Amino acid sequence: MTDPLPLLVENLTFRYQRRSEPAIQNISLTLQPGEILLLAGASGCGKTTLMRCLNGLAPRVYRGEISGKIEIFGSPVEKLSMSQLSQYVGTLLQDPERQIVGSYVLNEVAFGLENLGLPRDEILQRVDETLEYLGIAHLRERENFYISGGEKQKVALAGVLVMRPRILLLDEPLANLDPASAQEALQLFRRLADDGISILLVEHRVEDVLAARPDRVLYLEEGRQVYYGDPQGLMEVVDYRRVKLPAPIVLERARKDALTANLTIALPPPSDQPLVTFEQVSFRYRPELPDVLHDINFSIYPGDVIAVLGHNGAGKTTLVKHALGLLKPTQGSVYLEGQDTRQITVAQAAHTIGYVFQSPTQMLFAPTVAEELAFGPRNLQHSPAQIEQDVQWAIRSVHLEEELNTPPLALSFGQQKRVSIAAVLAMRSRILMLDEPTAGQDYWNYLAFMDAILQTPGFDAVLFITHDVDLAVIYANRVLLLYNGRLVADGAPQEVLRDEERLRQCRVLPTSLLRLNLEFFPHTRQFLRAEALAYFAASETNNRNQTQTNVFL
Q: Is residue 523 part of a domain?
A: no
Domain that holds residue 43: 7-229
* Domain end call among 372, 405, 427: 427
| CA–CA separation, 340 and 83 (whole Å) | 54
Both 200 and 217 in one domain: the answer is yes
CA dihedral of residues 26, 32, 35, 40 (deg, nearest 10) = 0
* Domain end call among 405, 427, 449: 427
**Would you give the DSSP letter of residue 104?**
B
Q: Is residue 543 part of a domain?
A: no
Both 331 and 477 in one domain: the answer is yes
Question: Of all residues in the chain, what percent carry a pLDDT higher than 90?
Answer: 68
Both 415 and 447 in one domain: the answer is no
For the segment 432-479, what is each residue's pLDDT rounded down to a tens digit? 999 999 887 888 888 999 998 998 888 999 999 999 999 999 999 999
CB contact at 8 A, 314 and 466: no
Q: Is residue 551 part of a domain?
A: no
Both 326 and 184 in one domain: the answer is no
Q: Which residues pair with 483 in a beta bridge?
A: 486
pLDDT computed for residue 474 by the predictor: 95
Question: What CATH number has the domain bearing residue 292?
Answer: 3.40.50.300
Q: How confident is the model at residue 372 (pLDDT cuts 50, 70, 90)?
A: very high
For the segment 323-350, what is each residue's pLDDT rounded down to a tens digit? 999 999 999 999 999 999 999 999 899 9
For the segment 270-304, what is each residue's pLDDT rounded down to a tens digit? 888 999 999 999 999 999 889 999 999 999 999 99
Q: Is residue 1 part of a domain?
A: no
pLDDT computed for residue 551 by the predictor: 41
Q: Is residue 178 part of a domain?
A: yes
Both 471 and 490 in one domain: the answer is yes
The Cα-based distances of 447 to 98, 251, 261, 473, 475 in angstroms read 27, 17, 15, 12, 10
Both 298 and 282 in one domain: the answer is yes
Both 81 and 141 in one domain: the answer is yes
Output phi, psi for 446, to 5 deg: -75, -30
Residues 6+ apart with CB under 8 A from 128: 137, 140
| CA–CA separation, 337 and 34 (whole Å) | 56
Query: Is pLDDT larger for residue 76 or for residue 440?
Result: 76
Asked if residue 37 has pLDDT above 90, the reply is yes
Q: How confident is the model at residue 534 (pLDDT cuts 50, 70, 90)?
A: confident
Q: Is residue 249 part of a domain?
A: no
Q: Is residue 529 part of a domain?
A: no
Both 287 and 433 in one domain: the answer is yes
3-state secondary structure 478-529: EEEEEECCEEEEEECHHHHCCCHHHHHHCCCCCCHHHHHHHHHHHHHCCCCC
Q: Is-cis flag, bond preceding 59, omega within 30?
A: yes
Both 370 and 496 in one domain: the answer is no
pLDDT computed for residue 550 by the predictor: 42
* Domain end call among 492, 510, 528: 510
Q: Where are the beta strands (DSSP E) in 162-284?
A: 167-171, 198-202, 216-221, 224-229, 276-283
Both 270 and 333 in one domain: the answer is yes
Q: What's the longest Cα–Cα distance across the chain?
A: 84
CA atoms within 13 A on the CB side of 90: 21
Surface-to-core class of residue 519, CB atoms within 10 Å of its CB (0-12 exposed, 13-18 middle, 19+ buried) = middle
- Mean per-residue pLDDT over the chain, rounded: 91
The number of distinct structural domains making up the chain is 3
pLDDT computed for residue 133 by the predictor: 86
What's the gap between Cα 82 and its chain centre? 29
Both 313 and 461 in one domain: the answer is yes
Question: Quick one: average pLDDT of 176-181?
Answer: 87
Q: Which amino acid is at 299?
A: S
| CA–CA separation, 355 and 322 (whole Å) | 11
**Would you give the DSSP letter of residue 308?**
E
Least confident range of 117-131, 260-274, 367-381, 395-409: 260-274
Both 161 and 46 in one domain: the answer is yes
Both ends of the chain: CA-CA distance in Å? 72
pLDDT computed for residue 411 by the predictor: 87
Asked if residue 20 has pLDDT above 50, the reply is yes
